[in-house]
A and B are shown apart, each in its own frame.
Chain A
């Protein structure tokens, strides 16, 4: 078995979950790498959208943000930001990728504030387009480094709605998008129970124990009866991926 970094593992798991022909909102960093990797490996008809206004760009040098000419290079269209975000509301976006400072049991994400907003412990950058992706993308993939301080029982602030309080809460509030389909971490894959809408461990990566996942999760995490082990990244997958980030800006060792 070849060695790989936690970031490489997550990008490849993200790539595998994408399907040919999908329209994907992918921000700079690991999500973008997943989307480009999928295009190279198995999904040539997958198209990437960027909130700044890029439709199906041909990415050359990796952009440092989602919002610059590099991320709209050779785009087929450059619509206004309001239109890019309205494609989500209209249902055009099959998959949106998200991450965040805190993720809770029901897949709600906080990227706004640690502590109460009136008296913040840490003010974070905020939603950007994340709330809109969470609200209206047909499905959401979360990519996150797995640690206790990120996987919390309840987020301090719901920037981006997952299944809110669980059960039918998301549907009842009137949201359109399908919500979080999967959470990809460096330890495994988590999905949501169809009734309770609580995060459930469905797969661990090779060499990861259930015990380790529990230790690094800040809430009691149910485990699927059909718990699987993921197939490790292949040489071919890793070679393709490393070619996308030769300077290892995003794929370096350690957390992300």
Chain B
């Protein structure tokens, strides 16, 4: 979608104060095949796993996914056919489980499935989108091969004469974000690092907000400087406790390392990597009746343990 069309989408959408609560199934229908989708969080932190889980179940195809750093969810999105292209600064299983063999399979067969930018580069694409401008200058990536492979244009500052790169804005069709707290209107309060979620919420044409806990609007009014996503950015609100599991939600629960490890180690050891992920998707994504059933596959013990370790902050 062009820069002007994206602005027009915001001009025309219903931004009013209204109850936007809905079900996960319904919210995710906002994402259409081929859409550009910004996914919140960063590596293991505050990834909206629940919303991705539902997108995978609904079998969306050929999405372009923007995520600052991509972890195992990238494997799931690739193998399920949901993601046609990853736009990210880093794509890996993580420190303990090494480079993602799934990413390697896809990106080595077809390099166009993985567009790499530096973390600031990707951040600024969303920042420019959020600012309502078509591009933004930076000093990062100058002289590197990323400058060439990302097709970035040089620009000389007309005031200072400084050499800069221009990073193009991105206005995703949809942003998917998970917050600790939100009200029914979509006022979202993210605690701990907001990652790129505030930029994504402003840059995207539509926003799906899943949240650990729906609170009364009076609570939001009592704590307005904690509201980092105002209601007019948001189109759907879904209460989804443990909506980042097995990733973490700051202050609520830690990543479920043991469960991530079962996947990570399992993938390392599997001879048929794609087959392994397909089986994982079948068991954890397609088979469960609902998100509660998905969580119950990991067990109460893990939910309690990650909660005990993750309780840094209390609402």
| Same complex | yes
Q: Which of A89, A127, A136 has the most CB of B within 10 A?
A: A127
**Using an 8 Å CB-CB cutoff, how does the interface string of B142-174 with A read, 1 for contact, 0 for none?**
111110010000000000001110000000000
Contact of B127 among A82, A118, A157, A173 (CB under 8 A): A82
Contact of B248 among A69, A157, A164, A174 (CB under 8 A): A69
Q: A132 in the interface, Cβ–Cβ < 8 Å?
A: yes
Q: A223 in the interface, Cβ–Cβ < 8 Å?
A: no
Bound together, the chains give a CA A80 to CA B44 distance in angstroms of 16
Nearest residue, chain B, Cβ from A170:
B143
Do B119 and A51 have beta carbons less than 8 Å apart? yes
Q: Which residues of chain A from 43 to 85 have any CB-CB distance to chain B below 8 Å in the complex?
A: 51-54, 64-70, 72-73, 78-82, 85
Bound together, the chains give a CA A52 to CA B145 distance in angstroms of 24
**Using an 8 Å CB-CB cutoff, how does the interface string of B170-195 with A read, 1 for contact, 0 for none?**
00000000000000000000001111
Bound together, the chains give a CA A161 to CA B192 distance in angstroms of 31
Q: Which residues of chain B from 82 to 100 have any CB-CB distance to chain A below 8 Å in the complex?
A: 88-92, 94-96, 99-100
Given A69-B45, A81-B193, A82-B120, A64-B143 contact (CB < 8 Å): no
Given A81-B68, A82-B126, A136-B140 contact (CB < 8 Å): yes
Do B104 and A81 have beta carbons less than 8 Å apart? no
Nearest residue, chain B, Cβ from A80:
B194
Do B310 and A173 have beta carbons less than 8 Å apart? no
Contact of B116 among A68, A78, A127 (CB under 8 A): A127
Do B140 and A80 have beta carbons less than 8 Å apart? no
Q: Which residues of chain B from 289 to 315 have any CB-CB distance to chain A below 8 Å in the complex?
A: 310, 312
Do B95 and A69 have beta carbons less than 8 Å apart? no
Q: Which among B1-9, B24-32, B107-115, B206-214 touches the partner chain?
A: B107-115
**Using an 8 Å CB-CB cutoff, how does the interface string of B231-257 with A read, 1 for contact, 0 for none?**
000000000000000001011001101
Q: How far is the CB of B198 from chain A (nearest CB, A)?
A: 6
Do B254 and A69 have beta carbons less than 8 Å apart? yes
Bound together, the chains give a CA A129 to CA B140 distance in angstroms of 10
Q: Which residues on the B side are within 8 Å of A136 (C-beta)?
A: 139-140
Q: Which of A29, A159, A170 has the most CB of B within 10 A?
A: A159
Do B140 and A131 have beta carbons less than 8 Å apart? yes
Q: How far is the CB of B240 from chain A (nearest CB, A)?
A: 19
Do A132 and B120 have beta carbons less than 8 Å apart? yes
Given A68-B248, A117-B149, A80-B193 contact (CB < 8 Å): yes
Contact of A132 among B140, B192, B248 (CB under 8 A): B140
Contact of B143 among A29, A52, A82, A169 (CB under 8 A): A169
Bound together, the chains give a CA A191 to CA B13 distance in angstroms of 57
Q: B61 in the interface, Cβ–Cβ < 8 Å?
A: no
Do A131 and B144 have beta carbons less than 8 Å apart? yes
Bound together, the chains give a CA A164 to CA B142 distance in angstroms of 10
Do A124 and B198 have beta carbons less than 8 Å apart? no
Do B123 and A82 have beta carbons less than 8 Å apart? yes
Do B96 and A64 have beta carbons less than 8 Å apart? yes
Bound together, the chains give a CA A117 to CA B310 distance in angstroms of 40
**Using an 8 Å CB-CB cutoff, how does the interface string of B42-71 with A read, 1 for contact, 0 for none?**
111100000000000000000000001100
Q: A206 in the interface, Cβ–Cβ < 8 Å?
A: no
Q: B37 in the interface, Cβ–Cβ < 8 Å?
A: no
Q: Which residues on the B side are within 8 Å of A53 (C-beta)?
A: 42, 192-195
Q: B135 in the interface, Cβ–Cβ < 8 Å?
A: no
Bound together, the chains give a CA A161 to CA B254 distance in angstroms of 35
Given A82-B124, A123-B104, A161-B142, A132-B96 contact (CB < 8 Å): no
Given A174-B164, A175-B143, A127-B119 contact (CB < 8 Å): yes
Contact of A112 among B116, B250, B251 (CB under 8 A): B116
Bound together, the chains give a CA A120 to CA B107 distance in angstroms of 8
Q: B267 in the interface, Cβ–Cβ < 8 Å?
A: no
Nearest residue, chain B, Cβ from A77:
B193
Do A158 and B45 have beta carbons less than 8 Å apart? no
Bound together, the chains give a CA A135 to CA B197 distance in angstroms of 24
Bound together, the chains give a CA A174 to CA B212 distance in angstroms of 45
Q: Which residues of chain B from 128 to 145 have any CB-CB distance to chain A below 8 Å in the complex?
A: 138-145
Q: B118 in the interface, Cβ–Cβ < 8 Å?
A: yes
Nearest residue, chain A, Cβ from B254:
A69
Q: Which residues on the B side are within 8 Å of A54 (C-beta)?
A: 193
Q: B103 in the interface, Cβ–Cβ < 8 Å?
A: yes
Contact of A131 among B103, B108, B118 (CB under 8 A): B118
Q: B199 in the interface, Cβ–Cβ < 8 Å?
A: yes
Contact of B108 among A64, A70, A122, A160 (CB under 8 A): A122
Nearest residue, chain B, Cβ from A123:
B107
**Seed contacts A68-B248, A129-B120, A176-B139; 8 additional CB < 8 Å A-B pairs:** A65-B94, A72-B193, A78-B192, A89-B120, A123-B104, A127-B116, A159-B144, A159-B146
Give 19 pairs: A residue, B residue, CB < 8 Å, sorted on A: A52-B43, A53-B192, A53-B193, A64-B96, A66-B43, A80-B193, A81-B42, A81-B196, A82-B120, A89-B139, A112-B116, A125-B91, A126-B89, A131-B119, A131-B146, A135-B118, A136-B140, A173-B163, A174-B139
- Residues of chain A at the chain B interface (Cβ within 8 Å): 28-29, 51-54, 64-70, 72-73, 78-82, 85-86, 88-89, 112, 117-120, 122-132, 134-136, 157-161, 164, 169-170, 173-176
